[in-house]
Structure 1
């Protein structure tokens, strides 16, 4: 940890201790975690096929069910997603907080299955999905919920005789990500979206023929302060924390702030977030 980061975290921790033990504690614990933010982002690239103009993609991430986020809240999220009428639904990892301690039943499957998108539902592993011996458990649950796993692989998303490529890699921290394998079926000039749980993987992705990377993992920092920003983010979410980053003219990273919380049950100046992307073809 460098000196600047140490000072930032030390000062931020002091403010958190003082601030969250006072009047903001109730807000950060009980109010803001329930204030869902819907971030709308148009995506413009010249190789988006005309058939996908105004194609709507919903991304949600990091629900961490079981840690101050329950199945009733998850059901409300599913209802909200359906109200947005997505063409495609993407989940970028970390379904439950501790897979080996979670009580798995049919209800979580029913909620996942209730989400509707004409062109499918896809997901990737996050570090909590692999952690706690959850790899196969989470895979079975997501499959029963009619979500398709992209683990170092890609699929064509087709419409009216055209398609774009959707790819996903394994979790960077606890899996075996392989972007070359994920893109092996990609054709020249394909418009390509990559799902990567960890946003800092973008420094590798930017060197590949991928136009958009969608990530989570950071929780947006979860607790943020003016002039300081985020106080702490996990490994591989230290450089790119929240929002949109244009790494070069042909590559954009979007980092979702997630739905649930982890480690600490607080959100402050960092609301839970759904991303709604609309593809915009050149016309």
Structure 2
């Protein structure tokens, strides 16, 4: 004999589960992709000079403009990033989404330049290239122009000294993407004073496995998108080459901190579940 109450109970549970799943898909598709999370992270080291104490560094990456990411979405994200008042902004690569398939015309380039110019950082904005930025030689040259006119300094296997109202400094090393690029670690680290606090900015985080971490205090990267879809307790559903070991969040290897951001944009499909867009706000302190 059919137990009607049991059937109704099972159907009710299935309906609730379906509603929860549909709600997650709706949120991931129409809400999460448009909201950048400001994630605060503190890095402590006695190598940080007093003059740079509490320096705030914003890490962003993977804008993937000209596809799902448009002017309206990026403008809202930039506004929230500026409200966090970073001292320095680091961009870890991938400006456009599949530029070898989706044409990037002059109007789109100019639009993105004007948006990037509105990012505010009194002590400098710096960038490296990602694999999408290496889609062609012509595109690479275009990236250099975009960063220049947007007031970013492009670091391609080279380094700069970061100052904050003093002669005391922090090393910032930019290394080309492990995926699609030509990373040259030896060239990038030439003439580096390892007594200074040293930051490496690169696109694909798994490059950390090839770095002389005993001379590096902080590695920051993007590329992974946090998988775009992640499962609680299991992590990213999708892992990219170059971000299979370090997929998201913060890892410490000996005394080196490795921070991987989820990035701002999306690719392939416009959804983020348990892997929201992120700006990692890193506060450096010696206390």
Q: What TM-score results when the alignment is normalised by the length of structure 2?
A: 0.87
Q: CA deviation at 1:59?
A: 1.0
Within-5 A mapping of 1:40-51: 40-51=40-51
The count of corresponding residues between Structure 1 and Structure 2 is 264
The answer for the alignment partner of 2:11 in structure 1 is none
1:109 equivalent in alignment to 2:97: no
Deviations 1:36-94 (A, max 9, x none): 21110111111111111111111111011122110122122222222221111110000
The answer for the alignment partner of 2:152 in structure 1 is 147
Within-5 A mapping of 1:1-283: 22-100=22-100, 101-105=103-107, 106-132=110-136, 134-159=139-164, 160-248=166-254, 250-282=255-287
Alignment CA distance shift 1:166-1:157 (3 Å): same
Aligned alpha-carbon RMSD (Å): 1.8
- 158-167 or 210-219: which moved more? 158-167
Contact kept, 8 Å, 1:224 with 1:268, in 2: the verdict is yes
* C-alpha distance in 2 between matches for 1:75 and 1:186: 37
Structure 2: runs of 5 or more not aligned: 1-17
Q: CA deviation at 1:102?
A: 2.4
Q: CA deviation at 1:208?
A: 4.6
Q: What TM-score results when the alignment is normalised by the length of structure 1?
A: 0.88
Alignment CA distance shift 1:27-1:188 (3 Å): closer
Structure 1: runs of 5 or more not aligned: 1-17
Contact kept, 8 Å, 2:89 with 2:125, in 1: the verdict is yes
